[in-house]
Structure 1
Amino acid sequence: MSETGAAALAARIAACKVCAAHLPHGVRPVASFSPTARLLIIGQAPGSKVHLSGIPWDDKSGDRLREWTELDRETMYDASRVALVPMGFCYPGKASGGDKPPRRECAPLWHEEVLATLPQDRLTLLVGTYAQAYYLPDTRRLSMTERVRRFTEFSPRVLPLPHPAWRSTIWMRQNPWFEAEILPILRAKIAATLA
């Protein structure tokens, strides 16, 4: 797809109001992509801070994700290199213990079109259980931890990651292999993809 076609798709997404009746804080789709982005990061849904700024991963989770990936802000927000596409494009609101799940309408409605704009040889990071359940449906019987640990069983172009929310610091203490074994592989794959 051309840059013009991708821009037209982004404009259609920005104008989407399919879930408006279910979004207590209003509609504000947040996504970033281009036909040259060889790294795709699929997350959950924007949080309240991202909803206000309109910038994907513009919060503490984004800080931690940049730390894991060793992407600086300039690279992460360069849509020509990195596509940032959540499972739900709008902030779903609060639930007890965190945010509500991403709206189920977004991914079936938009993802196929967005992914069709991206290069075929891209590296895809599936951040969190919602992205993993959708894109690795045969692994539903596995926990998120098992998916991350067994990443070599999937396509070499797909890496499942935990969500980098504050809870991930507890998870990382319980699973030191993630930092020792997975992060170096993740960083090497990203560096090779973006080289």
Structure 2
Amino acid sequence: MSTELERLTARIRACRICVETPKGKPLPHEPHPVVRLSAKARTLIAGQAPGTKVHASGAPFTDASGDRLRDWLGVTAQEFYDTDKFAIVPMGFCFPGQDAKGGDLPPRCECAPAWRSEIMATMPQIDLVLAIGLYAQRWHMGAARQRSLTETVAGWRTAWDDGAARKVLPLPHPSWRNTSWMKRHPWFEMELLPFLKTEIRRRLD
């Protein structure tokens, strides 16, 4: 990692804006930002926010969702966690806490405005962004994002062919809660995932 990225990573890991100057209620626990920047990776995984297991481990996607995501990408855990191969930067860096029903809250709204533009500027080699979920799609896709996640993911070819140097592929969250969504939309596994695997392997090889 370059000195510039090392300094940026250190600043992010020391960030406390969601506790000291929050927009709304402060983070209900000590901040524990989880990001992986890279000076070499061509692919950025833009997820939502860490869950409880990632909050505890300090490593992204160390849960069942990570297993499914790695299967979607066609990569091993060793490849996935190699920062020369993948940068991993969620929209919210810290576990946001849970709602009254025990579900994870949305990503903190402070992270992206404070950090994302600088992060993207310091990783100019990124030429593929995997926008996982609505929050990443809102930030990275702009006008290419449709009214719903399903419409946005279904329109992946249009987003891919928009002529931008930095390609964006929209994906649903790899949570096992989305298994029924995948069954209702078989084109995701039949069309998008083979294309995704090919693009990932081309960048790794």
TM range (shorter): over 0.9
Of 126, 130, 149, the residue aligned with 2:154 is 149
Q: Does 1:176 align with 2:186?
A: yes
Contact 1:128-1:163 at 8 Å conserved across structures: yes
Q: Once superposed, which parts of structure 1, at least 4 consecutive aligned residues long, lie more than 3 Å away?
A: none
Q: Does 1:13 align with 2:12?
A: yes
Partner of 2:23: none
Of 38, 58, 76, the residue aligned with 2:62 is 58
Give the letter for the 1:13 counterpart.
I
Q: Distance in 2 between matches of 1:85 and 1:78?
A: 14
Partner of 2:51: 47
Of 38, 42, 67, the residue aligned with 1:38 is 42
Counterparts in 2 of 1:147 and 1:141: CA distance versus 1, 3 Å: closer
Counterparts in 2 of 1:31 and 1:53: CA distance versus 1, 3 Å: same
Q: Distance in 1 between matches of 2:145 and 2:74?
A: 29
What secondary structure sits across from 2:87 in the alignment?
Answer: strand
Partner of 1:164: 174
Number of residue pairs aligned between Structure 1 and Structure 2: 194
Contact 1:125-1:161 at 8 Å conserved across structures: yes
Q: Distance in 2 between matches of 1:140 and 1:4?
A: 35
Partner of 2:91: 87
Contact 1:33-1:80 at 8 Å conserved across structures: no
What secondary structure sits across from 1:94 in the alignment?
Answer: coil
CA deviation digits over 1:116-142, x for unaligned, max 9?
Answer: 222345211000111011222324542
Q: Distance in 1 between matches of 2:74 and 2:34?
A: 22
Two-structure CA RMSD over aligned residues (Å)? 1.5
CA deviation digits over 1:128-170, x for unaligned, max 9?
Answer: 1110112223245421111111111114511000001122111
Give the letter for the 1:10 counterpart.
T
Q: Does 1:192 align with 2:202?
A: yes
Counterparts in 2 of 1:134 and 1:121: CA distance versus 1, 3 Å: closer
Pairwise CA distance, 1:111: 1.0
Structure 1 unaligned blocks of 5 or more: none
Q: Distance in 1 between matches of 2:125 and 2:34?
A: 23
Q: Distance in 2 between matches of 1:155 and 1:178?
A: 15
Contact 1:39-1:194 at 8 Å conserved across structures: no
CA deviation digits over 1:72-116, x for unaligned, max 9?
Answer: 111111112100000000000012362000011101111111112
- TM-score w.r.t. the length of structure 1 is 0.94
The sequence identity of aligned pairs, in percent, is: 50
Contact 1:37-1:119 at 8 Å conserved across structures: no
